[in-house]
Structure 1
Amino acid sequence: MRSMNAYVFPVTLLLASNVFMTAAWYWHLKYKATPLLIVILISWGLAFFEYCLAVPANRLGSEVYSPAQLKTIQEVITLIVFAGFSAVYLGHTPTWNTAIGFALIALGAYFVFRG
């Protein structure tokens, strides 16, 4: 039987990597006056940390999850992190349509893990 850490640690790394990824992609929306080149350079810096977490998450996670399961976990985490970031940082509360769309994606994730 595999250790619970073998299942939880990659998910934790994916969660942390998605925080950096979401910040890299969307932080600048509050700073539209900042020159695009500066935004790109800062976002690349954030993405570096995202990759430093995502690559080991996938390497370690491949010991207990299939590639499709890892991608599904990453996508579900991305939606959760994005919804929180969008609401807290950008001030865009998700609508019912957004919630329904995310729920349908979560339903798709169910089928990936169903076996």
Structure 2
Amino acid sequence: MVKRVLITDDALFIRVALKNILEKNGFVVVGEAENGFSAIEKYKLLKPDIVTLDITMPVMGGLDALKHIRAFDKNAKVLMISSMGQESVVREAVISGALGFLIKPFNEETIVKSLSKL
């Protein structure tokens, strides 16, 4: 089954890099969001199988977006991707329902392996 992904990151180059990796490996990128608020709206509209969320973004960060998305859909599959690897942030993301956490910079193998598990 092809997995449909919503990519969320405020950095365009990260969204482009993720999209290229995912599409090359058989995923379908159904949308992109530049902040948490946009991710929530697009999640409700597009109903992706997986969401990637950056932690630090303008308007609304990834942790808040994660909580809203999981409140809307308790079965949402969310992978956090961030340059912030502090244990407290990782713990809060997992407690809030994230199914995985990757630290930037990431590589293709790590991304594909992590998303394939979800």
TM over 0.5: no
**Structure number having the greater helix percentage:** 1
The structure having more radius of gyration, on CA atoms, is 1
More strand by share: 2
TM score, norm. by length of structure 2: 0.30
